[in-house]
Amino acid sequence: MRKIIYYSVLIVFLSSCSSSDKKAELAKLKLQRDQLNTEISKLENEVNPGNKNDTKSVTVSVTDAVETVFNHYIQVQGTVDGDQNIAVSPQIPGIVTAVYVKEGSNVGKGQLLAELDGRVLKQSLEEVKTQLVLANSIFQKQSALWDKKIGSEVQYLQAKTNKESLEQRLGTMREQLKQARIVSPISGTVESVPLRVGQSVSPGVPTSTIRVINMSVAKISADVSEAYASRIHDGNSVLVNFPDVGKDIETKLTFTGRFIDPTNRTFKVECKVSSKDLVLRANMIAYIKIKDYSNSKAISLPVNYVQNDQKGKFIYVAKQKGTGWIADKRTIKTGKDYDGLVEVLEGINTGEKIVSAGFQNLNAGSSIVF
């Protein structure tokens, strides 16, 4: 517009002047042009006094603040085991004469797994039985005589003592003979059978034990730092993840240790899950997420929405001003954070519009559009 005015005036003056006066007239027109520019700028400033400070609106994205359930978890790595995992060992030393199971065999509670050589014990048992038959006969005769006041008391008591002693000895030998039988104390699957016929075995020796596992209920154990001791208790909700299975299961803590391991400052926790629809194995890795905090009416935001300055943490909230919107810098108080979300305790109300993108280019009071 300015150029049109300048050139129109210039053309009028040039057309009215002779060629000899063109230079003088040109200088005059330039002076007039400068004067016009000054007047135009002055008028523009009077018409639009804020024009120098005008800034373009910043395009942002917003999200509504809503109440949600915020949960905080403590995550630790654990290992899987059967709720019943038993190493069955012989109770007495001896020589293996028979092994009735192999790896993978399903067994019931009380089922015979292996047997030790009990021939000498059986022979002794039969001898004691014979002796007991005679002792019973003598005792009955002495008892009958004693009742008739014929026999002596000493003979009666000797017969009675001999009979009872043989009965006790017979009972002891029967128990010893039972100990020569290796029996499963649980129902489950035989995991390992290191025993071989002819092998010499002893109680408690690893090569003398048969391992039986019942995985119908899996037990997951983990060690937790003592820093969380006051926040973890029996009954806490737990999410168990099995990486090899690709499934999460919700359960509860069934055991929380009362002992802090002095070597690593941890305590033990356990939970149990049904493995009905899972293929779980002993010593498999599992990740346990223990819920130690929950807020059913929380306002939570992605942590990257929150910024920091000298006054603390803040976010930008879209605030309506007239027909437009401006960025309201809002100081907030946060609580716990987990999995990329942070709990906001103060500074935001439900329904307010939180600036979720573009806040890097904002200042307090900036004009925004979304």
The string of pLDDT tens digits covering residues 81-112 is 988 999 999 988 888 999 999 999 999 999 99
Do 215 and 288 lie in a common domain? yes
pLDDT band at 28 (very low <50, low <70, confident <90, very high): low
316 and 354 in a single domain? The answer is yes
Highest mean pLDDT among 50-54, 61-65, 222-226: 222-226
Q: What is the pLDDT of residue 310?
A: 87
Our count of domains for the chain comes to 4
Separation in Å, CA 316 to CA 88, 311, 358: 66, 14, 10
- Average pLDDT in the chain: 83
**pLDDT greater than 70 at residue 33:** no
Q: Which residue has the higher pLDDT, 37 or 94?
A: 94
Residues 301, 228, single domain; the answer is no
Per-residue pLDDT band at 235 (split at 50, 70, 90): very high
| Domain closes at, from 273, 293, 313 | 293
Q: Is residue 185 part of a domain?
A: no
Q: What is the pTM of this model?
A: 0.63
Kindly state whether residues 49 and 123 are assigned to the same domain.
no
- pLDDT tens for 302-329 read 999 999 988 899 999 999 988 889 999 9
Q: Tell me phi and psi for residue 143, to 5 degrees.
A: -65, -40
Residue 202 in domain? no
Are 221 and 252 contained in the same domain?
yes
Does residue 200 sit within a domain?
no
Q: How far apart are CA 272 and CA 250, in angstroms?
A: 10
| pLDDT given at position 359 | 85
Residue 32 lies in a domain: yes
Same-domain check for residues 285 and 326:
no
Stronger pLDDT, 14 or 183, i.e. the higher one: 183
Interacting residues of 99 by C-beta distance below 8 A, sequence separation 6+ = 113, 114, 193, 195, 196, 197
Question: Which of 37-51, 132-146, 150-164, 189-203: highest mean pLDDT?
Answer: 189-203
Range of the domain at 24: 2-53
pLDDT at 102: 93
pLDDT at 13: 42
Written as six digits, the tokens of 20 are 């000899």
> The domain spanning residue 242 has which CATH number?
2.40.30.170
Question: Of the candidates 259, 293, 327, which is a domain's last residue?
Answer: 293
Do 316 and 309 touch, CB atoms closer than 8 A? no
Question: 301 with 280, same domain?
Answer: no
Let me know whether 304 and 285 are in one domain.
no
Judge whether 191 lies within some domain: no
Can you give the CATH number for the domain in which 319 is found?
2.40.420.20
**Position 360 in a domain:** yes
Whether 198 is in a domain gets the answer no
pLDDT at 121: 76
217 and 285 housed in the same domain: yes
For residues 123 and 162, membership in a common domain is answered with yes
Of 161, 179, 197, at which residue does a domain stop?
179
Q: Are residues 139 and 283 in the same domain?
A: no
364 and 220 assigned to the same domain: no
* Residue 359 near residue 315, CB atoms below 8 Å: yes
Residue 232 lies in a domain: yes
Instruction: Please report, rounded to a whole number, the percentage of residues in the chain having pLDDT higher than 70.
Output: 85
Average pLDDT, integer, range 7-36: 50
pLDDT score of 113? 94
Q: pLDDT value at position 143? A: 81
By three-state DSSP, how is residue 194 classified? coil
